[in-house]
């Protein structure tokens, strides 16, 4: 018998040990595949998302990528018509206000169940409202309950007045909601994703209200991370964080027409170019907000590019706090005359963009043609500056980098065009560029900018969602409190929003729009830009929404 050399023995032993480890690992790692899922009809659509959802409890969410997912699982009492901005019945089939606009009676849809099998009824509606109203601690932070604080104000502790008073389950099919004041936004704001109905049983079972500040951030509940339970056409099937993909499955007991797709996957691809390439390679079936520079190429390559109606506004913001010259209306009017919005829109914004006359699109109540128009007139601008004693006006003009927004697809080129216009009118511009989250938003929100670029995509068809959001607070980014009308504008906005009579309310907003342009001019409205969404040619049935609130239950996929 020959003896093996020691070195060879060591190598053999090592190889044996490695094989044993591999075998034991294999033995304890079993596949968890559900072989049954593949048999379902309808196919799978993979949609490229620009970011990971923050969580799956829409009440605590405020970002588009989270809502894109939750919108498929949850529904509101009130819905939005597909492809439009008008309200339509959803979980409530009808609603009736009292004469003073304080009491709203909702008739609920019958035969609706949550994904956990529990019934949707008036008790569930009231449980949802009570849950939102009774937030405490971190749950009251605007970082979490943004839409509640924006729309309803305060909470049950009474520290801040709340629009919400109470909810009563009159009978299983009727819920009555009492408000503390009338608002033109109700019941429209119930179509906001944050106020969609969630299963009270699941909320309780998985401690949905267990959110808390920890260190520099917030910790979310088990419900928000793993057990979102709504009534929508898709139910939650899993979030593979390591692979950046969220999977939803068709809810077979859906009250309405069942979704065509059996599976809906959201694959996170943060880079816009990477999303386009993934679509071109057939790895995803669609993505949102393709770069306008790619629109034609995508069309030429056979993709189905759908351009939504514009429902946003880009404005030139003016902060009256730091540069006293900007508190003079004549100076602000000179800025408006200096900029050539027609050329800017045609040269730097995508096809279908429009020059803005008001601070919101013409499909929203109270929009009026009858407003002062500041035509491009550099001579007039110089003249007005001279009248104000500001011939040598110098302004710091802030613009953001590392960001695109539906209303602002290319901030750099927009800034460049505006800067040229202002300089042509004799204004000295000091450019200040910062990354969006790297100081730009800080500067704007803290009223440190003098001129800035910002905008808004409407959440719902309501004037208050635009001009109320912009100008209600006199110490906002515009610092309107530097002008004698700052508080007055705030009061006028509040009065218009609280007017229960629709006709009178519309007239009040028309008057406000006239004054905003002629007398106040806290900013200069520039444009409305149409955002696009693109899908592969075998995707059918997608209805683009001006509010960018697409639902995928009508979508089918061939091939």
Partner 1 sequence: MLRYTVRRFGQLILVVAALSVLLFAWLRSLPGGPVSALLGERATPESRAQLQAVLGLDRPVHVQYFQFLGRAASGDFGVSTGVQPGDDALSIFLQRFPATLELSLLAIVLAVAAGIPLGYVAARRRGGWLDNAGVVSSLVGVAVPVFFLAFLLKYVFAVELGMLPTSGRQNAGIDATRVTGFFVLDGLLTREWDASWDALKHLMLPALALSSIPFAVVFRITRAAVLDVLDEDYVRTAYSKGLTDTVIRGRHVLRNAMLPVVTIIGLQTGALLSGAVLTEKVFAFQGVGEALAIGFERRDYPVLQVVIIAAAMVYVLVNLIVDLSYAVIDPRVRT
- Footprint on residues 2-31 left by partner 1 (CB under 8 A): 25-26, 29-31
Q: Are 389 and 383 in contact (CB under 8 A)?
A: no
| Residue 213 DSSP SS3 | strand
435 binds partner 1 (CB under 8 A): yes
The span of 51-59, 103-111, 375-383, 527-535 binding partner 1 (CB under 8 A) equals 51-59
The span of 183-191, 270-278, 331-339, 495-503 binding partner 1 (CB under 8 A) equals 270-278
Give the nearest distance from C-beta 245 to partner 1 in angstroms.
4
The span of 74-82, 83-91, 115-123, 237-245 binding partner 1 (CB under 8 A) equals 237-245
Closest to partner 1 by CB, 382 or 434: 434
Give the nearest distance from C-beta 175 to partner 1 in angstroms.
30
User: Which of 424, 443, 420 has the alpha carbon at shortest distance from 319?
Assistant: 443
Closest to partner 1 by CB, 241 or 370: 241
Closest to partner 1 by CB, 96 or 442: 442
The three-state (H, E, C) secondary structure of 502-520, written as one string: HHHHHHHHHHHHHHHHHHH
365 binds partner 1 (CB under 8 A): no
216 binds partner 1 (CB under 8 A): yes
Q: In sequence order, what DSSP letters do the residues of 291-358 get, joined into one string?
A: -GGGHHHHHHTT-EEEEPPP-EEEEEEE-TTT-GGGGSHHHHHHHHHH--HHHHHHHHS-TT-EE-SS
Sole binder of partner 1 in the list 91, 126, 248, 269 (CB under 8 A): 269
Closest to partner 1 by CB, 326 or 408: 408
CA distance 262 to 282: 19
The pair of structure tokens assigned to 116 is 């956990």
Sole binder of partner 1 in the list 274, 347, 386, 518 (CB under 8 A): 274
Give the nearest distance from C-beta 543 to partner 1 in angstroms.
24
Strand pairing category for 451-457 and 394-401: parallel
Closest to partner 1 by CB, 398 or 505: 398
The pair of structure tokens assigned to 120 is 């949707």
330 binds partner 1 (CB under 8 A): no
CA distance 78 to 195: 10
The span of 54-62, 177-185, 188-196, 355-363 binding partner 1 (CB under 8 A) equals 54-62
Contacts of residue 438, Cβ cutoff 8 Å, sequence gap at least 6: 402
DSSP 83: T
Give the nearest distance from C-beta 39 to partner 1 in angstroms.
13
Sole binder of partner 1 in the list 169, 201, 268, 388 (CB under 8 A): 268
74 binds partner 1 (CB under 8 A): no
The pair of structure tokens assigned to 185 is 């936004």
277 binds partner 1 (CB under 8 A): yes
Sole binder of partner 1 in the list 42, 54, 119, 201 (CB under 8 A): 54
CA distance 114 to 3: 72
Rg of the chain over Cα atoms, rounded to whole angstroms, equals 27
Angle between helices 341-348 and 411-424 (to 10 degrees): 150
Give the nearest distance from C-beta 407 to partner 1 in angstroms.
11
Give the nearest distance from C-beta 184 to partner 1 in angstroms.
19
Strand pairing category for 523-528 and 428-435: unpaired
Sole binder of partner 1 in the list 2, 32, 257, 503 (CB under 8 A): 32
Closest to partner 1 by CB, 393 or 454: 454
Q: Are 141 and 213 in contact (CB under 8 A)?
A: yes
Sole binder of partner 1 in the list 21, 213, 347, 386 (CB under 8 A): 213
240 binds partner 1 (CB under 8 A): yes
Closest to partner 1 by CB, 265 or 512: 265
| Residue 106 DSSP SS3 | strand
114 binds partner 1 (CB under 8 A): no
User: Which of 540, 146, 533, 483 has the alpha carbon at shortest distance from 327?
Assistant: 483
Sole binder of partner 1 in the list 40, 245, 363, 556 (CB under 8 A): 245
CA distance 340 to 376: 5
Kindly report the number of other CB atoms within 10 A of residue 168's CB atom: 14
Give the nearest distance from C-beta 212 to partner 1 in angstroms.
10
Q: How far is CA 462 from CA 206, 369, 491, 511, in A?
A: 35, 17, 17, 15
Sole binder of partner 1 in the list 157, 370, 442, 491 (CB under 8 A): 442
Closest to partner 1 by CB, 339 or 444: 444
Closest to partner 1 by CB, 124 or 444: 444
432 binds partner 1 (CB under 8 A): no
Q: How far is CA 33 from CA 24, 36, 39, 235, in A?
A: 20, 9, 13, 18
CA distance 301 to 307: 16
Could you tell me which residues are beta bridge partners of residue 61?
none
CA distance 166 to 133: 9
- Footprint on residues 140-199 left by partner 1 (CB under 8 A): 141-143, 146, 149-150
Closest to partner 1 by CB, 341 or 398: 398
The mark string for 448-487 relative to partner 1 (x by CB under 8 A, - otherwise) is ------x-x------------x---x-xx-----------
DSSP 143: T
44 binds partner 1 (CB under 8 A): yes
How many residues interact with partner 1 (rule CB under 8 A)?
73
Closest to partner 1 by CB, 165 or 475: 475
219 binds partner 1 (CB under 8 A): yes
Residue where the block lists tokens 């000295």: 428
The pair of structure tokens assigned to 473 is 């607070």
């Amino acid at each position: 018998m020959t003896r093996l050399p020691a070195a060879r023995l060591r190598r053999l032993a090592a190889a044996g040990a490695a094989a044993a480890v591999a075998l034991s690992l294999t033995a304890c790692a079993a596949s968890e595949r559900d072989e049954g899922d593949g048999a379902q009809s309808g196919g799978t659509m993979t949609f490229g998302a620009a970011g990971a959802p923050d969580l799956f409890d829409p009440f605590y969410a405020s970002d588009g990528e989270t809502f894109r997912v939750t919108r498929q699982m949850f529904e509101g009492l009130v819905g939005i018509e597909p492809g439009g901005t008008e309200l339509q019945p959803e979980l409530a089939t009808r609603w009736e206000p009292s004469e003073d606009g304080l009491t709203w009676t909702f008739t609920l849809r019958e035969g609706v169940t949550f994904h956990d099998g529990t019934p949707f009824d008036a008790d569930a509606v009231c449980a949802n409202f009570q849950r939102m109203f009774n937030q405490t601690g971190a749950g009251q932070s605007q970082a979490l309950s943004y839409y509640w604080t924006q729309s309803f104000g305060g909470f049950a502790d009474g520290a801040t007045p709340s629009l919400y008073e109470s909810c009563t389950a009159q009978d299983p099919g009727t819920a009555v909601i009492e408000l503390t004041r009338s608002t033109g936004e109700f019941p429209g704001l119930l179509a906001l994703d944050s106020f969609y109905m969630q299963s009270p049983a699941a909320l309780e079972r998985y401690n949905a209200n267990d959110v808390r500040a920890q260190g520099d951030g917030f910790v979310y509940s088990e419900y928000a991370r793993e057990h979102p339970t709504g009534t929508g056409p898709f139910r939650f099937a899993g979030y593979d964080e390591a692979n950046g993909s969220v999977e939803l499955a068709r809810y077979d007991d859906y009250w309405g027409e069942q979704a065509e797709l059996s599976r809906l996957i959201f694959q996170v691809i943060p880079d816009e170019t990477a999303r386009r390439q993934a679509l071109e390679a057939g790895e995803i079936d669609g993505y949102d907000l393709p770069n306008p520079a790619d629109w034609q190429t995508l069309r030429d390559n056979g993709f189905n590019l759908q351009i939504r109606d514009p429902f946003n506004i880009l404005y030139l913001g003016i902060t009256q706090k730091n540069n006293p010259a900007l508190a003079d209306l004549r100076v602000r009017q000179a800025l408006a005359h200096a900029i050539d919005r027609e050329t800017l829109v045609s040269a730097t914004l995508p096809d279908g963009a429009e020059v803005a006359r008001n601070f919101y699109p013409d499909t929203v109540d109270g929009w009026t043609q009858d407003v002062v128009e500041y035509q491009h007139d550099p001579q007039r601008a110089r003249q007005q500056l001279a009248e104000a004693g500001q011939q040598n006006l110098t302004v710091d003009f802030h613009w953001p980098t590392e960001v695109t927004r539906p209303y602002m697809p290319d901030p750099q080129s927009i800034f460049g065009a505006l800067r040229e216009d202002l300089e042509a009118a004799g204004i000295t511009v000091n450019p200040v560029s910062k990354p969006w989250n790297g100081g730009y938003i800080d500067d704007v929100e803290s009223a440190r900018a003098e001129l800035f670029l910002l905008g808004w995509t409407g959440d719902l068809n309501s004037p208050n969602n635009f001009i109320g959001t912009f100008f209600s607070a006199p110490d906002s980014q515009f610092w309107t409190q530097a002008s004698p009308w700052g508080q007055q504008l705030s009061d006028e906005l509040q009065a218009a929003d609280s007017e229960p009579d629709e006709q009178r309310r519309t007239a009040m907003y028309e008057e406000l729009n006239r004054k905003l342009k002629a007398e106040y001019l806290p900013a200069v409205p520039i444009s409305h830009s149409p955002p696009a969404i693109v899908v592969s040619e075998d995707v059918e049935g997608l209805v683009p929404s001006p509010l960018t609130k697409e639902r995928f239950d009508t979508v089918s996929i061939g091939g």
